[in-house]
Structure 1
Amino acid sequence: MHNQFGIRFEAVRKTFGAETIIPSLDLDIISGERLVLLGPSGCGKTTIMRLIAGLEQVSSGDIYMGGKKVNGMDASERNVSMVFQNYALYPHMTVFDNMAFSLKLRKVPKTEMTRRIQEIADKLELGHLLKRKPRELSGGQRQRVALGRAIAQQSPYFLLDEPLSNLDAQLRTNARNELVELHETYPTTMIYVTHDQVEAMTIGHRIAVLRKGQVQQISSPDDIYNRPANKFVATFIGNPPMNVVSVQMSDNGLLFAEQEIILPNVIRAELVRQSGRQVLLGIRPEALKLQLGVEPRSSGFSVKGEYLRTEYLGAQYVHHVAVQQQRLLIATPTPAGVSPHSNVTITASFEHLHFFDAGEGEQRIALFERDRSQNTEYLPQGIAQ
């Protein structure tokens, strides 16, 4: 990737009156990448997008685009393309005229303009609709017209603010694939705003998870999922979400709902060193195994519980199990064959356990990592099973 069209935020702060939306943001967006801004409503992701576009100005700090400071620069000077949630098409114009609008303003020669619009329309399967008005199109077609209009501008920055949220589930899936393929054809710097984790995981080269205007973690989808930086990221990504429970350190390991989980001494010592006596334990539902009866195994995570119910989600079954006052979710590809109120045992391997500090920030305590070259699990230097 080339760096000439990268974007940098340096200590950017944004307030609206007495309310601080972004307290202080440092962010590097790599030229040519697809960066997804992911987070719940009100986390500041759309504000960041608007700051890039020049629709809002920073309260303090600096924004650089292509190495040039753009503070105070109007939207028209920043050479960005935007696609909004509501598409913002001109109802009195044809599909062709909507897509060609910015090119006409720039006085692009008619022959070149027609060639470019036809090429983009064909890629978006809109070639046969160029003479229609927006009211004659489906929601999915209107969304593609808005994308085509942005692509036609050939701007180095492509900003998309929840552009698929008005589409039904099947259309969203198709549109996600189209977006990725379009970006591979037109490799601009793409910033994509969404609260939908599936969109984020499937579209982004990298994901920036936001909370209250602050980046909690920015990394690849694989890292975000398998090595979440804190409890918030761990529970925001994944469906069903990661189980996170409070546990106490014991002489031999952990106490969870008055049941002891034996840990290797070096792991326990590292947890105590980093986090004291109180720890948050996280386990993804798909990493847990369920068996009838109460025969806890001698190694790994193993607790007894009461089976409550099953949710069938098509591709998987989600089982609800009570461990005293706590509830764990277990995801399996097949039915468990267990009746409600049966006694069950839940198990998991050590390498699937995530530990988070119970204090402020609830940061990850990194014990296990994956050595991808060997496809084996290992503990960092100084920790061994």
Structure 2
Amino acid sequence: METKQIIIHKRFFIAIIIISVLSALRSLLIPVHADELTYSKLADNILLGQYYLVNNPSSIAPTIPFVFALFKIKTFPVLGIILNKIFNLCLVGFGFRFIALYLKQQNVSPIFIGGILALTAVNPNAVAWFSTLYPESLIFFGFWGFIYYVSRPPKQSYLIKILAFFILMVFTRYLYAVLGVVILLCYYDYLKENFKNYSLPIVTYSLIFLIPVILWAKYLLNIEEQNLSEISYFNRFKVGNPLLYNIKCGLGLEQHHEVDKINGIPAFASLFIPITGFRNYLISFILIFGFVCGLVKHLKRPAVSKLFISSMLIMLGFVFAGTGFSRYWLVLLPSFYLGYYYLFKLLNIRDKWIVYGSQLVSFIYILNEIRLDILIVNKYL
């Protein structure tokens, strides 16, 4: 493509990102609701010195309630909520920076980096969830920071950041503990690089970061053994045959009793198709197969293999937990787009058609978001 065309395409993607951010700000008009109310109650009790939801200790992952408590302003609660939502959007911005650095590291051209970022920003689920008080923005930031640093050459300061991002994710959503496998692979790379220099730091930092995990695990065990928590993520593992039941639900073969729709694999398509409650096995399978094929072709690259392994571990974690829907898949969206990009290159599709296709999808998404902006503004103003 000519230089002039590249500049025009870049400006288009930048415009899409800006409009997406402005659309995301509509959440400032929406009152706290659903799970946000749960976090708010926990935050109120944290400020009173108790990690209680109502009358008993809670087993809900602590990061979001503590962030919620940090932004609580008793005399002007609405301001605290607004600041919290803006903070979450800023976290997503830092996540985008990590994605851009990672893609640059993989020698993805700037125009396609812009395309992946734009498609992520304008995705209906990203616009809907990143500026809310849900964990998605924090998980997004933590995951891509983690991926960027595990993909970098061994360095002691990177090791600390890897463990810090890992702990952040685990204390935000327990399922991300599966990324411990990637940390073990990272340890192997460090020790292979220089056993003498990295063996002691690995042991030392692992023990330091393991302490809060062990203490919190002991706390959770006590709470769950006594069934004290009013709302517990672990209830899904207390039904008749929990493993088989959750796998069926995670594969979309059965509807989980805690939700009102079938989730899991059939819900994967809803990450890309902006239709509420959309479920389709065939489309979801094609979409999953497509990005897997794209990434697998580049598994010889250590950074791509770590991203692939991380994505697969999280997706399998959703299956074994009996969950998985558009909001949960959102953190992995850029890795899906990278897989599709590699697949299109593998199929010898010309760059200009990939760019035009990205712009077309972005334009359709943005029209849908403008429609929703008008509806929400009319409803709450």
TM-score by length of 2: 0.22
Which structure is higher in helix share? 2
Q: Which has the higher strand share?
A: 1
The structure with more radius of gyration:
1
TM-score, scaled to structure 1: 0.22
- Greater relative CO (CA pairs within 8 A, separation 6+): 2
